Structure 1
Amino acid sequence: MAVTELSSLKRSKRKEIALAYFFLAPALAVFALFLFYPMLKSVYLSMTLTDPRGRVAEFVWFDNYKDLFLSEAFFHSLKITLYFVLLTVPTTILWSLLLAALTHNKLRGMKVFQFIFSLPIIISVGTGSIIWLLLFHPTAGMLNYFLSKIGVSAIPWLTDPSWALLSVSLMTVWMNMGFVYIVLLSGLQGIPDDIYESAKIDGAGPVRSFLQIVLPLLTPTLFFVLIVSIIGAFQAFGQINILTKGGPMNATNVVVFTIYQDAFINFRFGIGSAEALILFAIILALTVLQFAVLERKVHYQ
C-alpha cells in the first residue's frame, strides 16, 4: 500500500513539473530567442573579424580582446564612462532622496509636488534629450538666457570638452530623477507612522530621526536604487547620441557609444562584440561586489 502511494505521489509530482515547464515554455522561448542566442552569438563574433555585411571573414580567437586591452581609446572611453557614473548616480540618488523626504508627508499640496517630481519617468530619452538640446542652445537656449540676466556669460554647454560631460550628466540626473524619486518615496511611505511618533516622544528632532531611524530602514530601497542606477548609467546611450554624439573631442564617448560606432558605423562587429562583453563583465563584477560588500549594511525589517 505504501509503495502504491509513493509511486502515485511521484507521478503527481512529475505531472506538476511537466505542467510548470509547459507554462514556462513561451517565456523560455522568448528568452532563448532574444537573450541567450544573441549573447552566445556575441561571444562567437567577439573572436572573429567580419566584413561590412557582418559575415565572418576570419577567426582570430582572443586577438580582439588583446587589441582592446592595448587600446588607449578604449581605456579613455572606460574612464569617461566611470566619470559619467560618478557624476550621475550619487547626484540622482541624493537629490531624489531630498525631494522624497520633503514631500512624503501628508500635508496639503504635497500631491502636486509628488506629481511634478515624478514627471520625468513618463518622458522618453529621445524627447528629454531634444528638450535639453534646446535648453543648452548657445544663443537661443533658456539656460544661457537666465545666466545673462544675472550677469554670467554664456556657457558652451555641449561644445566645450570641459562642459560637455557635465551637461549630459545634468540632463541624465533630471531624466532618472522620476523613477528614483518614486521608488524612494514609496520606501519612505512604507515606514510605519508609529516609528515617527516614538522618535518625537523620545525627543528626537527631524534631522536626527531621519539619519538614525528612517535612513537605516530605507537601506533596502537605497540598495536597490543604487544597483539599478549604476547598471543604467553604464548603459547610457540615447542622450549622448542625440546631444553630443560622443564629442566634442571624445569628451562624452562612453563605452556604449564606442560599441555603437565600432559595430554599426565602422562595421567592426568583432571588436564591438568584444567591447560589449567586457562591459557586461564590468557591470556583473560591480553588481556582485555591491552584493558582497554593501548588502551587509542593509537592514531588512
Structure 2
Amino acid sequence: MTSSTTQQPAPPRGTRLSARKRRDALWFVALAAPNIILILLFTYRPLMTNVYYSMLDWTLGSTSATFIGLGNYVEFFTSPSGLNSIRITVIFTLVTVGGSMLLGLLLALALNTSIPGTAFARSAAFAPYVLSGVGVGLVWLFIFDPDFGVLAWFLRQLGMRSPEWVNDPTMALVMVIVVYVWKNLGYCAIVYLGGLQSLPRDVMQAAELDGAGPLRRFWSISLPLLSPTTFFLLITTILNSLQAFDILRIMTPTGRGTNALIFESYLQAFGGYSRAGYSAAISVVLFLMLIVITVVQISYVEKKVHYA
C-alpha cells in the first residue's frame, strides 16, 4: 500500500548554508554599518584631512593656503625647536611611564593586604586618576609657587630657596613629570593590585614551602605571572603620556621646557603663531609615532608575556 502523501524533497544543504550566510551578512551590515560610517566620518576623514593640511603653508583663519608638500615635515625635523620637542616628548614619556608603573607596583604590594582601612587606602590612591587634569594642575601650581607655595614654605624652613619651577625650562619639565606621575600612580596601582590578587595561591604556597623567601617569590613567580598586566599598563600608559596635554597647558601655558609634541602642535596653531599647516604636520608625526610604538609592542614585547 502506498501513502497518499508524498514528502517534499529537502533543499540541498549548500543552499541552506548559503541562505544562512546571506542572512547573517545582512544582519552584520545592518548592525555594523552605522558604527563603520560614524568611524569613517569622525575618525578617518578628519585624519586624512589633517594629512592634507600638513602639506600646506596655511595661516589659521586665512582663506588661502599654499601647497608645499613635505616642507612642514622637513622644517620640523631640521629645526632646533622640532628636535627639542621630540627630546622633551621622549623624556616625559619614559620618566612618567617608568615612574608610574614602578611606584604603582610598589603601592599595589603595600595595598595587597587585609588590614583595616585597606579599602579606604585603595580608594584614596585611585582618586587622583579620576580628577580633572585642569583642577590637578591648578592645585599643584599653587604648591610649586616659588613665593607663596606650600613647597616653598617647607624649603624656607630648611634654609633653602625654592627653584623657579615655571620660569626654568628644566625645572618646569621636572614639575609636570612629578604631577603627572602622581595623578596616574593610582591607576597603575589598582591594575597591578588586580593582577596580584589573581595570582594562583597554590603556586605561591608551594614556593613558600620550598623555602623561597618573599623577595624570591616576587621576583621568580609573581613578576613573571604579572607580565600580562605589565604589558597592558605599558601600552595604555605610553599612549596616555604621549597624549598628555591638560596638565602641561595649565601649569606651563607658554610651553617653555614642556612643549611635548601634542602641546607643541597646540602652541603652533593657537599659541600666537597661527601656523595651522605646521601644527597639522606635528600631529601627523605624533600619530605615526603612536602607530610605530603600538606595532612594536604587539609584535615584539607581547612575545615576552606569559599568559599561563
TM-score range, shorter chain: over 0.9
Q: Distance in 2 between matches of 1:91 and 1:68?
A: 29
Which residue number corresponds to residue 3 of structure 2? none
Q: Is residue 303 of structure 2 the alignment partner of residue 296 of structure 1?
A: yes
Amino acid at match of 2:87: K
- 1:158 deviation in Å? 2.2
Equivalent positions of 1:26-105 (< 5 A) are 26-53=34-61, 55-105=63-113
Which residue number corresponds to residue 283 of structure 2? 276
The correspondence for 2:223, drawn from 207, 212, 215, is 215
Q: Distance in 1 between matches of 2:47 and 2:63?
A: 17
Runs of 4 or more, structure 1, over 6 Å off, are: none
The alignment's C-alpha RMSD in Å is 1.8
Q: Distance in 2 between matches of 1:26 and 1:108?
A: 50
Q: Distance in 2 between matches of 1:10 and 1:170?
A: 60
Q: Distance in 2 between matches of 1:272 and 1:154?
A: 35
Q: Is residue 166 of structure 2 the alignment partner of residue 158 of structure 1?
A: yes
| Aligned residues of 1:54 and 1:269 also touching (Cα < 8 A) | no
Which residue number corresponds to residue 112 of structure 1? 120
Q: Is residue 286 of structure 2 the alignment partner of residue 286 of structure 1?
A: no
Give TM-score, length-normalised by structure 2.
0.91
- 1:2 deviation in Å? 7.9
Amino acid at match of 1:207: L
Q: Is residue 268 of structure 2 the alignment partner of residue 262 of structure 1?
A: yes
The correspondence for 2:185, drawn from 160, 177, 183, is 177
- 1:215 deviation in Å? 0.3
Q: Distance in 1 between matches of 2:11 and 2:73?
A: 59
| Aligned residues of 1:246 and 1:254 also touching (Cα < 8 A) | no
Amino acid at match of 1:19: W
Percent identity between the aligned chains?
35
Give TM-score, length-normalised by structure 1.
0.93
Amino acid at match of 1:170: V
- 1:127 deviation in Å? 1.0
Where do 5+ consecutive residues of structure 1 fail to align? none
| Aligned residues of 1:240 and 1:246 also touching (Cα < 8 A) | no
Q: Distance in 1 between matches of 2:75 and 2:162?
A: 42
**What is the aligned residue count?**
299
